[in-house]
């Protein structure tokens, strides 16, 4: 592995400003016609950052334009690498690059990251099965390479969706924002390639909605919940009433509306949540393994509505549903303690509303 130092950029930050803690979220973005490619960073000193993970960034062009950006300050510095990187990286596993971005008279930022030259050719693969191992090993590289394929390439849409899956799985482990951001990029680009009648559209929309939901859980941006709802409403519109997945989609979409209610406070959202989850429960067979969790989730939504309206009928419904969920949950089940706790919370909320000591006793007993 070689070590390179290059690039002097311009910036409005002075040396004394670079030590501010609000720059801890600094990241480096490669600006390309295909779309911006973020590199997550971690701060190691007042003026030094390094790549958060060890995955080398595949280089697909001779030079690079780079921007250092912060959520609070926006773009704080920029620079470029003019060297023919494709030529200089040939024959090397990866290269560590130290990027220096300078202020007017002194060093402001030093950013270390890894570059590599792609070693596999998508055009030679006849099926995705031949590429899955390489995609799994480096989904970020795969994303950048699949983006270069012509839109009518037979593997492009399914390949991008597979990359989105792998990046989402990686995010589940790392909780690295770069992984879920790239996953959503891959999914969205895959969706744009599918005609409305494509049989894969339902699964693509579902996967994309799930990624937006996970990013919301990680970052709390309500725009992600809006996008997740939009995708899963598309799934719901295409599912037949006899589809076995229909109750799960109804329940999950109801949960999204509840999350949106918790963020925005619109009563319409919690009403919609309850309506969807009630349909999910009605369509779930009595002995289905998911019935207790759907009953519990619907009970939570009724409690949310009660907390907003104060209607004792809502808290009564919440208690009834959560009690049924507890009754259907076998002893020793991993979710039993949380469901008992949820039921106790509902009893306590009704006690606070009505003053009935029996409810307080039930809450304490649970």
Decide if 89 contacts 59 (C-beta within 8 A). Answer: yes
Burial class (CB in 10 A: 0-12, 13-18, 19+), 132: middle
Whether residue 335 is found in the same domain as residue 275: yes
E-assigned strand segments in the chain? 2-6, 10-11, 27-31, 37-43, 48-51, 57-58, 64-70, 74-81, 95-102, 107-116
How high is the pLDDT of residue 361?
A: 75
Q: Are residues 274 and 308 in the same domain?
A: yes
Instruction: Please report, rounded to a whole number, the percentage of residues in the chain having pLDDT higher than 90.
Output: 45
Residue 78 has pLDDT above 70, yes or no: yes
- How many other β-carbons are positioned within 10 Å of the β-carbon of residue 236? 17
C-alpha angle 92-98-104 in degrees, rounded to nearest 5: 150
* CA distance linking residue 221 with residue 181, whole number of Å: 13
Distance CA 260, CA 264 (A): 6
Dihedral Cα 186, 188, 192, 194, nearest 10 deg:
70
Q: What is the pLDDT of residue 236?
A: 94
**What pLDDT does residue 352 have?**
84
Are the beta carbons of 255 and 286 closer than 8 angstroms? no
Domain boundary among 115, 146, 162: 115
Alpha-carbon distance of 239 to 92, in angstroms, equals 49
CA distance 356 to 4: 73
> Does residue 184 share a domain with residue 107?
no
Question: What is the DSSP-derived secondary structure letter of residue 213?
Answer: H
- For the stretch 286-316, pLDDT in tens is 889 999 999 999 999 999 999 999 999 999 9
Of 161, 182, 162, the C-alpha closest to 171 is 182
Q: CATH number for the domain including 184?
A: 1.25.40
Kindly tell me if the per-residue pLDDT of 4 is higher than 60.
no
Six token digits for residue 19: 């030590």
Quick check: is 9 in a domain? no
Q: Please compute the mean of the pLDDT values over residues 245-258 and round it to a whole number.
A: 95
* pLDDT over 50 (residue 242): yes
Q: 251 with 340, same domain?
A: yes
Q: Bigger pLDDT: 5 or 132?
A: 132
Residue 123 domain-assigned (yes or no): no
| Residue 318 to residue 343: CA distance in whole angstroms | 8
The candidate with the shortest Cα–Cα distance to 190, out of 220, 217, 163, 215, is 163
Structure tokens that stand for 313 in this block: 């009928």
- The span from the CA of 34 to the CA of 22, in Å, is 30
Residue 81 pairs in a beta bridge with 64
The span from the CA of 20 to the CA of 206, in Å, is 41
Instruction: Give me the helix-helix angle, 156-174 and 201-219, nearest 10°.
Output: 30
Mean pLDDT to the nearest integer, 73-88: 75
pLDDT digits (tens, 9 = 90+) for 96-106: 888 777 644 44
Q: How many CA atoms lie within 13 A of 180 on its CB side?
A: 19
pLDDT in tens, 190-226: 999 999 889 899 999 999 999 999 999 999 999 999 9
Question: What helix, strand, coil percent values describe the chain, rounded to 5?
Answer: 55, 15, 30
Q: Tell which wins on pLDDT, 80 or 16.
A: 80
pLDDT value for 15: 37
Domain housing 46:
21-53+60-115
- Are 225 and 250 members of one domain? no
Task: Report the pLDDT value the prediction gives residue 71, as an integer from 0 to 100.
Answer: 75
User: What does the mean pLDDT of the chain come to?
Assistant: 83
Q: What is the pLDDT of residues 24-70, one digit of tens each?
A: 888 888 776 556 677 888 888 888 889 887 777 777 666 778 888 87
Of 206, 238, 270, the position where a domain reaches its end is 238
> How much of the chain, in percent, has pLDDT values that exceed 70?
82
321 and 267 fall within a common domain: yes
Rounded average pLDDT over 159-177: 93
Residue 189 domain-assigned (yes or no) = yes
**pLDDT level of residue 13 (50, 70, 90 thresholds):** very low
Residues 109 and 175 grouped into a single domain: no
- DSSP state string for 42-94: EE-SSSEEEESS-PPEEP-SSSEEEEEEETTTEEEEEEEE-S-HHHHHTT-S-
What total number of domains does the chain contain?
Answer: 3
Banded model confidence at residue 107, pLDDT cuts 50, 70, 90: very low
Domain termination residue (choose one: 197, 213, 238): 238
Question: Tens digits of per-residue pLDDT, 329-351?
Answer: 999 999 899 989 889 888 888 88
Identify whether residues 308 and 266 lie together within a single domain.
Answer: yes
- Judged against a pLDDT cut of 50, whether residue 5 lies above it is answered with no
Higher-pLDDT residue of 82 and 60 is 82
Give pLDDT, residue 127.
59
In a domain, 16, yes or no: no
Residues 153 and 227 occupy one common structural domain: yes
pLDDT exceeds cutoff 50 at 8: no
Confidence of residue 128 (pLDDT cuts 50, 70, 90): low
């Amino acid at each position: 592995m070689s070590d390179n130092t290059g690039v002097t950029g311009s910036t409005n930050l002075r040396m004394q400003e670079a030590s501010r803690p609000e720059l801890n979220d600094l990241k480096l973005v490669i600006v390309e016609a295909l779309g911006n490619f973020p590199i997550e960073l971690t701060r190691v000193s007042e003026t030094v950052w390094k790549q958060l993970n060890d995955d080398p960034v595949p280089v697909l062009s001779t030079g690079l334009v780079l921007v250092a950006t912060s959520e609070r300050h926006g773009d704080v510095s920029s620079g470029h690498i003019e060297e023919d990187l494709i030529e200089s990286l040939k024959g090397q596993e990866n290269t560590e690059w130290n990027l220096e971005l300078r202020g007017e008279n002194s060093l402001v930022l030093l950013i270390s990251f890894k570059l590599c030259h792609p070693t596999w050719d998508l055009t030679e693969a006849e099926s995705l099965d031949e590429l899955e191992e390489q995609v799994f090993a480096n989904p970020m590289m795969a994303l950048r390479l699949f983006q270069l394929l012509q839109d009518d390439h037979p593997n492009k849409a399914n390949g991008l969706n597979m990359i989105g899956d792998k990046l989402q799985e990686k995010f589940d482990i790392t909780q690295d924002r770069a992984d879920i951001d790239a996953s959503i990029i891959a999914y969205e680009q895959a969706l744009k390639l599918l005609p409305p009648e494509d049989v894969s559209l339902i699964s693509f929309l579902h996967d994309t909605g799930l990624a937006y939901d996970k990013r919301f859980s990680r970052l709390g941006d309500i725009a992600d919940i809006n996008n997740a709802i939009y995708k899963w409403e598309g799934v719901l519109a295409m599912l037949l009433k006899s589809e076995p997945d229909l109750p799960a989609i109804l329940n999950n979409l109801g949960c999204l509306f509840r999350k949106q209610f918790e963020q925005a406070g619109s009563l319409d959202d919690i009403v919609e949540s309850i309506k969807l989850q009630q349909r999910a429960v009605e369509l779930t067979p009595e002995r289905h393994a998911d019935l207790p969790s759907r009953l519990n989730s619907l009970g939570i939504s009724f409690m949310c509505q009660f907390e907003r309206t104060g209607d004792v009928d809502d808290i009564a419904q919440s208690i009834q549903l959560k009690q049924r969920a507890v009754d259907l949950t076998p002893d020793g089940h991993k979710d039993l303690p949380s469901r008992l706790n949820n039921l106790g919370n509902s009893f306590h909320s009704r006690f606070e509303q009505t003053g009935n000591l029996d409810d307080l006793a039930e809450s304490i007993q649970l």
